[in-house]
Every structure is written in structure tokens, then in C-alpha cells.
């Protein structure tokens, strides 16, 4: 009981401190981001070895100077992503709609209107937390869900659940995703479900190996399996960072209703689309994640 109370206190303290920061205007938050960059990159050197290794393996033809340039731009963006995510705690619908725009949302509205739940897959690219504001651009009948993976730290898990629920999205824990989607289908409720599908699978998960960013890469197939087994159409969200604090997400069809695609078909199309996004502007991908920790046996 005492443990639960302590965890709750930690969350409220964390939330209180970050909410005070969320009250600041973006101009001051970006000044804070610049300060944070100096601490994280030059002093703490946060996961710098992992980032450098990932960039060198992904871009073997680039010079050391080019790699360092991308590396620095990544850390600048990572700090922006953090303060922008915190700002979500005190961000109006109008401000979110101005800063995160979406193209071709009619694709999702049409699928739901025709009686199909659908998946919207994306990667850890640009500001994926602000993608939950897509609900502001969809028809009222188009409910929004979000698949998430529980964080190890309870306080941060609660905080990011609050951030992701800010614009009305319904968080769905990854291990319960398949059952929840079946329940929605059986109840006659249709929704668009966001899916961050580029996380590294654990060793005991089903893995599909492919080439991603010049490297042998294990990929989660859960998104493809849910789509194939339930007959769900799938779209990809291609995000572009227009300038600091402004993004555009373009919706592209990966699999339409009635297509007889296998989980691997869908997974492979998604990976190729994500690769195109990253190669266009590599600094905005999450290079600090140890994405290529596991090697293919044999």
C-alpha cells in the first residue's frame, strides 16, 4: 500500500513540475530546449555511442563530418520533442491544429463510414506524440485509439498516458490490442487506431527479419497480424517537419478493405515507407533507441 502511495506521489510531483513548464510560451520552451541540448549532448553525452553507431551503420557512405552534423541535429530535435510533448499538457485544440496538420484524412473517415476499423501506422519520427491530435481533423464519428507499450517507470507511464489522452485518443496497451480490436468489431464500433510499429521486438516475440537502413533488422509483426486476421485496412503516416514546432502528416494507403494481404506484405510495405521518410530527413528519427541490439542467428 505504501509502495502505491509513493508511486502516486512521484507522479503528481512530476506532473506538477512539467505542467508549470507547459504554461510557458513556445518561445521560452525552445530556449529551454537549447539549454537542454548543451547538457544532454556535450555534458551528459546521453546515449551518444549508440547514436553514433546507429548513424554510421545506417549511412556507411557518409563522412564523419556528415554523421556528426546529423547527430547534432538529432539531439537538437530530441530536446524539441521533449519540450513539445510537455507543452501538450497545456495546449489548446486550435494551437494543436495549427502546429500539426494532416493531409488526406478523408481516407480514414471513408473507411470508418463504410464500417471498417483501420490502422494508422507510423514510426518514432518527428513528433509522434502530437499525432494524437489527428482526432481534431477527423469526422466526429471516427473514434481514435492508440496502441502503446507500457513504460517501466510508473510515473512516466502515467504522464505519457495523460499526454496521449489529451486530445481524446483512447490508449490501448499493446499486449491487449488484438482482443480490444476484436471486441470493437463485435460491438459494431469502428475506429482508427494509431500504431507505432518500429519498436525492437523482444527475443521471445515472433520476428520478421528484413533490411532497414542498410542493416539486418528484426521487425514486430503484430500490426500486420492484427490487420490481416481482422481484415482491417492500413494507412501510413508520412510526417514532415516543416520548421521548429510545425509538422505535416500525409496519410497514404498501405492496404485497402478487401485486400488479401499477409502480415508480411503489410509489414514490409510499412518498413519501406518508414525508410523513405527517414532517408528524406534522417535527423528526426529516434537514433538513441538501441534498435539493432539483436543480430540474426546464423
Residue 50 · residue 74 · CB < 8 Å: no
> Assign residue 217 a region: left if phi > 0, alpha if psi is -120 to 50, beta otherwise?
beta
Per-residue pLDDT of the chain (298 residues; tens, 9 = 90+): 445 566 678 888 888 998 999 999 999 999 999 999 999 999 999 999 999 999 999 999 999 999 999 999 999 999 999 999 999 999 999 999 999 999 999 999 999 999 999 999 999 999 999 999 999 999 887 888 888 887 777 887 888 888 887 888 888 888 888 888 888 878 888 889 999 989 888 777 667 999 999 999 999 898 999 999 999 999 999 999 999 999 999 999 999 999 999 999 999 999 999 999 999 999 999 999 999 998 887 6
pLDDT at position 8: 72
Q: What was the pLDDT predicted at 60?
A: 97
CA dihedral 70, 75, 81, 87 (to 10 degrees): -140
Q: Does a structural domain hold residue 294?
A: no
Does a structural domain hold residue 199?
yes
Residue owning grid cell 489548446: 92
Confidence (pLDDT) at 1 = 46
Total domains in the fold of the chain:
1
**Residue 293, domain member (yes or no):** no
Answer whether residue 252 is part of any domain. yes
0.85 exceeded by the pTM?
Answer: yes
pLDDT confidence of residue 217: 95
Which range marks the domain in which residue 17 is found?
2-284
Structural domain contains residue 297: no
Strands 100-103 and 207-212: unpaired
Rounded Cα distance between 292 and 76, Å, is: 23
The rounded percent of the chain whose pLDDT value lies above 90 is 68
Q: How far apart are CA 147 and CA 170, in angstroms?
A: 9
Q: Is 295 inside any structural domain? A: no
The pLDDT, as a whole number, for residue 12 is: 85
Amino acid at each position: 500500500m505504501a509502495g502505491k502511495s509513493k508511486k502516486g506521489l512521484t507522479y503528481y510531483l512530476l506532473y506538477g513540475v512539467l505542467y508549470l513548464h507547459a504554461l510557458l510560451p513556445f518561445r521560452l520552451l525552445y530556449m529551454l530546449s537549447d539549454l537542454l541540448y548543451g547538457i544532454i549532448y556535450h555534458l551528459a553525452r546521453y546515449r551518444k555511442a549508440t547514436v553514433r553507431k546507429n548513424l554510421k551503420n545506417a549511412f556507411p557512405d557518409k563522412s564523419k563530418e556528415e554523421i556528426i552534423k546529423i547527430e547534432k541535429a538529432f539531439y537538437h530535435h530530441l530536446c524539441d520533442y521533449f519540450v513539445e510533448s510537455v507543452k501538450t499538457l497545456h495546449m489548446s485544440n486550435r494551437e494543436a491544429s495549427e502546429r500539426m496538420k494532416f493531409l488526406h484524412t478523408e481516407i480514414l473517415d471513408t473507411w470508418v463510414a463504410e464500417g471498417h476499423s483501420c490502422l494508422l501506422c507510423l514510426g518514432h519520427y518527428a513528433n509522434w506524440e502530437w499525432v494524437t491530435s489527428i482526432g481534431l481533423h477527423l469526422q466526429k464519428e471516427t473514434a481514435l485509439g492508440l496502441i502503446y507499450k507500457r513504460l517501466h517507470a510508473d510515473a512516466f507511464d502515467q504522464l505519457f498516458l495523460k499526454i496521449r489522452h489529451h486530445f481524446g485518443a483512447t490508449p490501448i496497451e499493446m499486449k491487449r490490442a488484438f482482443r480490444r480490436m476484436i471486441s470493437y468489431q463485435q460491438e459494431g464500433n469502428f475506429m482508427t487506431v494509431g500504431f507505432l510499429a518500429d519498436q525492437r521486438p523482444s527475443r521471445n516475440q515472433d520476428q520478421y527479419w528484413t533490411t532497414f537502413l542498410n542493416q539486418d533488422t528484426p521487425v514486430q509483426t503484430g500490426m500486420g497480424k492484427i490487420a490481416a486476421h481482422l481484415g482491417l485496412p492500413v494507412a501510413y503516416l508520412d510526417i514532415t517537419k516543416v520548421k521548429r514546432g510545425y509538422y505535416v502528416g500525409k496519410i497514404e494507403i498501405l492496404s485497402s478493405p478487401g485486400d488479401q494481404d499477409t502480415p508480411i506484405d503489410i509489414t514490409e510495405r510499412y518498413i519501406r515507407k518508414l525508410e523513405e521518410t527517414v532517408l528524406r530527413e534522417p535527423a528526426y528519427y529516434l537514433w538513441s533507441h538501441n534498435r539493432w541490439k539483436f543480430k540474426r542467428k546464423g
